[in-house]
Amino acid sequence: MMTCVAVDDEPLALDLLEDNIRKVPSLKLLKKCSNAFEANEFLQEQPVDLLFLDIQMPGISGVQFLHSLTGTTPLVIFITAYEQYAIEGFNLDVVDYLLKPVSFERFLKAINKAQDKFNAGRKAPSVVSATPVDHLFVNSEYNLVRIDMNDIAYVEGLKDYVKIYLLSATRPVITRMSMKSLEEKLPGDRFVRVHKSFIVSLNKITSIRKGRISILKEQIPISEHFKENLYRFIDPKSLH
């Protein structure tokens, strides 16, 4: 079974899409979203196999949203009323491009394509996966905010939220996301989790002393549970 999310700013189109999805036993609809910001927030917390994505939406288009995704990206089926976007959609290597109004027969044909790719283990558009992971987008204050990996000093987890501390800003970027979800998006050779509440950038560490890491004049604790993560990069004998 493929899990899926439907994204469309038109309520009627979203309801019709939901109806088609529920007619297919191999699909499980996890979420309906009216914009890309809502979809992005959900994808930060929940892995999804297939994304039904409208192109023309306020704030950020479906194409821009697809470009913003990092890490393991769902298979994507574009759904739109505008035929001129078909070429761009196929250049992004999406599964299919459906033109509104979508007949169930045409919808089912797209699902069969997605199922074939899903069964073959092909989870992400090749253009996106080929792009070096040098940034990520997060929801913050009702905006999709781009964060460059080189700008991240450390991350602090606060229950359902994280604070991302940047070299270029005096205030952290706060976003609703779990530490585990963010950890999976950060390059493992550049960032290390040293505490249940902290992830640090290795090349931003200025010193380590008595179980604490100094970054940006802040003292970040190293917990027993996560210290082995740090030892993969730093000789533990040098910490005594």
Instruction: List, for residues 20-45, the tens digit of each pLDDT value.
Output: 999 999 999 999 999 988 998 898 88
Indicate the residue among 80, 106, 129 that finishes a domain: 129
Alpha-carbon Rg for the chain, nearest whole angstrom, is 20
Parent domain of 157: 135-239
CATH number of the domain to which 153 belongs: 2.40.50.1020
Q: What is the mean pLDDT of residues 55-76?
A: 81
Asked if 20 and 107 count as a contact pair (C-beta separation under 8 A), the reply is yes
The pLDDT value given to residue 22: 93
- Do 123 and 170 share a domain, yes or no? no
Residue 130 has pLDDT above 70, yes or no: no
Tell me how many domains the chain contains.
2
Q: How far is residue 44's CA from residue 215's CA, in Å, rounded to a whole number?
A: 26
Q: How far is residue 222's CA from residue 194's CA, in Å, rounded to a whole number?
A: 5
Indicate the residue among 70, 100, 129 that finishes a domain: 129
Residue 60 has pLDDT above 50, yes or no: yes
Calculate the CA dihedral of residues 201, 202, 204, 207 and round it to 10 degrees. 130
Q: What is the mean pLDDT of residues 186-201?
A: 92
- Do 73 and 150 share a domain, yes or no? no
Residue 86 has pLDDT above 80, yes or no: no
pLDDT, mean over the chain: 84
In sequence order, which residues have a C-beta less than 8 Å from that of residue 22 and are 6 or more positions away? 29
Using pLDDT thresholds of 50, 70 and 90, give the confidence band for residue 199.
very high
Compare 121 and 169 and report the one with higher pLDDT. Answer: 169
- Do 6 and 124 share a domain, yes or no? yes
Residue 235 has pLDDT above 80, yes or no: no
- Do 112 and 167 share a domain, yes or no? no
Q: How far is residue 145's CA from residue 137's CA, in Å, rounded to a whole number?
A: 5
Indicate the residue among 79, 94, 129 that finishes a domain: 129
- Do 116 and 158 share a domain, yes or no? no
Residue 87 has pLDDT above 80, yes or no: no
The pLDDT value given to residue 120: 82
- Do 143 and 92 share a domain, yes or no? no
- Do 6 and 121 share a domain, yes or no? yes
Residue 11 has pLDDT above 60, yes or no: yes
Tokens of 130: 């080929």
- Do 121 and 143 share a domain, yes or no? no
Using pLDDT thresholds of 50, 70 and 90, give the confidence band for residue 111.
very high
CATH number of the domain to which 57 belongs: 3.40.50.2300
Tokens of 140: 């913050």
Residue 155 has pLDDT above 70, yes or no: yes
The pLDDT value given to residue 52: 95
- Do 119 and 7 share a domain, yes or no? yes
In sequence order, which residues have a C-beta less than 8 Å from that of residue 202 and are 6 or more positions away? 190, 191, 192, 233
- Do 55 and 152 share a domain, yes or no? no
Q: What is the mean pLDDT of residues 7-19?
A: 92
Using pLDDT thresholds of 50, 70 and 90, give the confidence band for residue 49.
very high
- Do 25 and 62 share a domain, yes or no? yes
